[in-house]
Amino acid sequence: MRKYFGARFASLFCIVFAIAACAATQDRPDYASILSHGERPAAERDLDATRKPAEVLSFYGVKRGDKVADIYAARGYYTAILSQAVGPEGVVYSVNPTTRQEINDRWKKSEYANVRTVDGPIVQVALPQDASLDFVIIHLNYHDIPIADRSAMNKRILASLKRSGIYGVVDHSAKDGSGNEAIKTFHRIDKLQVIKEVTGAGFRLAKEGNILRKPEDTRDFNVNKVRNKDDRFVLAFVKP
């Protein structure tokens, strides 16, 4: 009898595990298809080898149905990818400090029906403040946020996220201990400075990725003049 129930329990466990694994697979975005999407311009595709968006978003755990935000989205490199990654059940808030109509017109296409444009001062970033988002990313632009505005921005992002929601910061690495010294000269920022500011707003550093590391980077040149040769940190902060 015990063997019978033991075998039944083992079979039931295998079935439940298989169903859970199947659901997890269905939630996982198909980045090969997303990155080859015909709407993406060649200029964006050319950046994929350096930016490694599939690896970065997999590191952050983005999945179908998520509500996410792309802060300082610019022309929408990550907005477009996130839109396809979260699918029609998800939402993407594409945030820019000023309105650029040619960019906003892109999100009117049917394949981007889940994109919501949010234009206005980043310090007052108009994300939902109801703890409804799963993920927020600021990619290569944290150093561009005025120092005096960062705390308020980070706190508004904190309020937008669910408990255990992820705030991803990817930026150009400055020399350790340099703080904000290189934000204008080299368009870089010290990783430790970012950690200090974001944890100071109430987040906890959860993990760091090595996806975009370049140990050979001397960190003494302007990343806007010498492109795609710099070390980049990938930080995942979590809302407690």
In this predicted structure, the answer to whether residue 22 has a pLDDT above a threshold of 60 is no
In this predicted structure, the answer to whether residue 18 has a pLDDT above a threshold of 50 is no
Q: How many CA atoms lie within 13 A of 236 on its CB side?
A: 18
Answer for the pair 185, 153: CB distance below 8 angstroms, yes or no: no
**In this predicted structure, which of 11-20, 80-89, 164-173 has the lowest mean pLDDT?**
11-20
In which domain, by residue range, is 58 found?
29-238
Q: How confident is the model at residue 21 (pLDDT cuts 50, 70, 90)?
A: very low
In this predicted structure, the answer to whether residue 25 has a pLDDT above a threshold of 70 is no
Q: Please check whether residue 61 lies inside any domain of the structure.
A: yes
- State residue 1's pLDDT score: 53
Q: How confident is the model at residue 191 (pLDDT cuts 50, 70, 90)?
A: very high
Query: Which H or E element spans position 135?
Result: strand 133-139
Contacts of 63 (CB under 8 A, 6+ apart): 27, 28, 29, 85, 86
- State residue 27's pLDDT score: 84
Q: Please check whether residue 232 lies inside any domain of the structure.
A: yes
Q: Please check whether residue 170 lies inside any domain of the structure.
A: yes
Say whether 180 sits in a helix, a strand or coil.
Answer: coil
Q: Please check whether residue 154 lies inside any domain of the structure.
A: yes
CATH code of residue 213: 3.40.50.150
Contacts of 195 (CB under 8 A, 6+ apart): 205, 235
Measuring CA to CA, which residue among 81, 55, 71, 73 is closest to residue 168? 71
Q: What does the pLDDT average to over 50-58? A: 98
Q: Per residue in 85-144, pLDDT tens?
A: 999 999 999 999 998 899 999 999 999 999 999 999 999 999 999 999 999 999 999 999
Q: Per residue in 131-181, pLDDT tens?
A: 999 999 999 999 999 999 999 999 999 999 999 999 999 999 999 999 999
Say whether 98 sits in a helix, a strand or coil.
Answer: coil
Q: How many CA atoms lie within 13 A of 35 on its CB side?
A: 15
- State residue 139's pLDDT score: 98
CA 199 to chain centre: 17
Q: Please check whether residue 17 lies inside any domain of the structure.
A: no
Q: Please check whether residue 207 lies inside any domain of the structure.
A: yes
The span from the CA of 108 to the CA of 78, in Å, is: 16
Tell me how many domains the chain contains. 1
Q: What does the pLDDT average to over 17-22? A: 39
Q: Please check whether residue 21 lies inside any domain of the structure.
A: no
- The predicted model scores a pTM of 0.89
How high is the mean pLDDT of the chain? 92
- Per-residue CA distances from 177 to 149, 198, 237 (Å): 21, 16, 20
CA 193 to chain centre: 19
Answer for the pair 134, 167: CB distance below 8 angstroms, yes or no: no
Q: Please check whether residue 4 lies inside any domain of the structure.
A: no
